[in-house]
A and B are shown apart, each in its own frame.
Chain A
């Protein structure tokens, strides 16, 4: 039996790596991947607590998170493609105008 706290520590570590990615990388696609990493670490924590409490509700929440993440990725990547068409870059430092 693996202690619950090990899973939570792993989840915290992965979440922190996601935060580091968002704060230090500048390629918008890698930023997006870091956000996905954070979503996954939160999912891992939810599944861990679902097992610790023997409650299926935690896993249902993860199911909805995955659905929302899929929708978010589809819209976000479409936005990135639209930005790339007008700015010719995916560097977030170069994208500094609200006007297209």
Chain B
């Protein structure tokens, strides 16, 4: 049963990723990427990660994708990109390098020890356990993320302000 759900979800995730790559319209790409994110969040449930399932939906599928769609529509970038190739070798070379990369990662993934551990404790990553680890062992990195987010906010505001100064002067 679990395997069937995994296969269906994996197929949806792969289909979403391929459709994102192939669609010429940036808005369609964003929607297909959203499908991919939701599929990955379902995989998190299968992997006993309920907290990350919710975070993935709220932060990725919610906030980040809304930001993407907003910018795509703001810039009017949804029109099809120019299909003329500036470098004829760019696409075949990119595909070849990607195939080599996939072969390498796949080889290493299949060569590793088959650690199909039976899940002894299904609650090992319950929100309570995650909060406990986050506020004891990983308290310092947690505090640093607050500074990171503050720096991101200040950075975005500064970028916006320098934009306005440039257009006025």
Contact = CB atoms under 8 A, between A and B. Distances in A.
Contact of A27 (B26, B90, B99): B26
Interface residues of B, number: 86
Contacts of A30: 20, 26, 29, 81
Contacts of B120: 54
Interface residues of A, number: 73
A37 B36 contact: yes
Majority DSSP secondary structure for residues of A touching B: helix
Interface in B82-131: 82, 86, 90-91, 93-95, 97-99, 101-102, 105-106, 109-110, 112, 114-121, 124-125, 129-130
A73 B130 CA distance: 25
B155 A78 contact: yes
Interface of A: 1-10, 12-21, 23-27, 29-30, 32-34, 36-37, 40, 43-44, 47-48, 50-57, 59-60, 62-64, 66-75, 77-82, 84-86, 90-91, 93, 100
Contact of B106 (A9, A51, A75): A9
A1 B118 contact: yes
A90 B61 CA distance: 23
A70 B29 CA distance: 19
